[in-house]
Amino acid sequence: MKGCDGMDGEVIMSYLPLYGEAALLTVKLGVIGIVFAIIVGLFCSIIQYYKVPVVRRIVSVYIEISRNTPLLVQLFFIFYGLPRLGIPTDAETCGIAGLAFLGGSYMAEAFRSGLESVDKIQTESAYSLGMNRLQTMRYVILPQAMSVSIPAFVANVIFLLKETSVFSAISLMDLMFTAKDLMGMDHNTVECLFLLVSFYLLILLPISIVGTVVERRMRRAGFGN
């Protein structure tokens, strides 16, 4: 029963598994990409914190480039451009690499502000006890820095998950791709768009709520005294 105003429940049911699969792909690529982004970000922020001579410049340049170019362009470059140089990449790796490249600089910024919020005297106390740089960073600075970084970190996670919506441009069968494909085939625009919005809400709303809760908890615990 198709109407202009109403939605056909049967159509929705038949599309569900397709959307479900697509959502899983989105989440999978998103999570892997975010993990790599965190690694890159951690590395960059620590380099900047310790002001390591040459690497620091490279990191700054990377951050400027990554923050001033859209993910879509980065993906096109990696996916269509690089293979010409003999660097083969499949779509999934590309997507992850793009997220890691873009996300790394955002995570670096979040971590950097956390690291800088830790009082210098904490570092000095640790050194006085005979701890070396690595131990100090691991046991004293990072734990304190993390709580300050959390709001920005959660914002970045949500941002990066939203950015995965461009993966369809390199033919990855994510939610956008599925929606466009199905709309083109059967023209059930309303149902397709409805499912598209629903699935994204399904992925993003929980994280957003968790983020707000965590932020409130951290503030209540009086962290960062």
Partner 1 sequence: MPDLVTELGIDVLFKGTNFLRLLGGLWSALSISLIAVAISIPLGIIMGVLMTSKSRIIKAILRVYLEIIRIMPQLVLLFLMFFGTTRAFGWDISGETASVIVFALWGTAEMGDLVRGALISIPKHQYESSEALGMTSAQTYLYIIIPQTVRRLIPLSINLITRMIKTTSLVLMIGVVEVLKVAQQIIEANRMTSPNVAFGIYLTVFVLYFLACWPISLLAKYLEKKWS
Partner 2 sequence: MSDELLKIENLVKSFDGNTILDGVNLSVKKSEVVVIIGPSGCGKSTLLRCINALEPIQSGSITLDGEVIERNSKTLPALRQRIGMVFQSYDLFPHLSVLDNVVLAPCKVQKRSKDEAKQEAMALLERVGLGEKAKSYPRELSGGQKQRVAIVRALCMHPEILLFDEVTAALDPEMVREVLDVMLDLAKQGRTMLIVTHEMQFARAIADRIIFLDNGKIVEEAKPDEFFDNPKTERAKQFLNMFEFDSVKSKDGLDK
Neighbours of 50 (CB within 10 A): 13
**Window 131-150: residues binding partner 2 (CB under 8 A):** 131-132, 135, 139-140, 143-144, 147
Identify whether the C-beta of residue 82 lies closer than 8 Å to the C-beta of residue 89.
yes
- Contact between 135 and partner 1 by CB under 8 A: the answer reads no
Q: Which is nearer to partner 1, 139 or 159 (CB)?
A: 159
Q: Which residues contact 13 (CB under 8 A, 6 or more apart)?
A: none
Binding mask 171-200 for partner 1 (x = CB under 8 A): -----x--xx--x-----xx--x--xx--x
Q: What's the rounded Cα separation, in Å, for the pair 141 and 1?
A: 62
- Residue whose C-alpha is closest to residue 159's, from 49, 21, 43, 41: 41
Q: What's the rounded Cα separation, in Å, for the pair 146 and 162?
A: 23
Residue with tokens 């890159």: 40
Q: Which is nearer to partner 2, 42 or 169 (CB)?
A: 42
Footprint on this chain of partner 2 (rule: CB under 8 A): 119, 121-122, 124-132, 135, 139-140, 143-144, 147, 222-225
Footprint on this chain of partner 1 (rule: CB under 8 A): 64-65, 67-70, 72-74, 76-77, 80-85, 158, 162-166, 168-169, 176, 179-180, 183, 189-190, 193, 196-197, 200-201, 204-205, 208
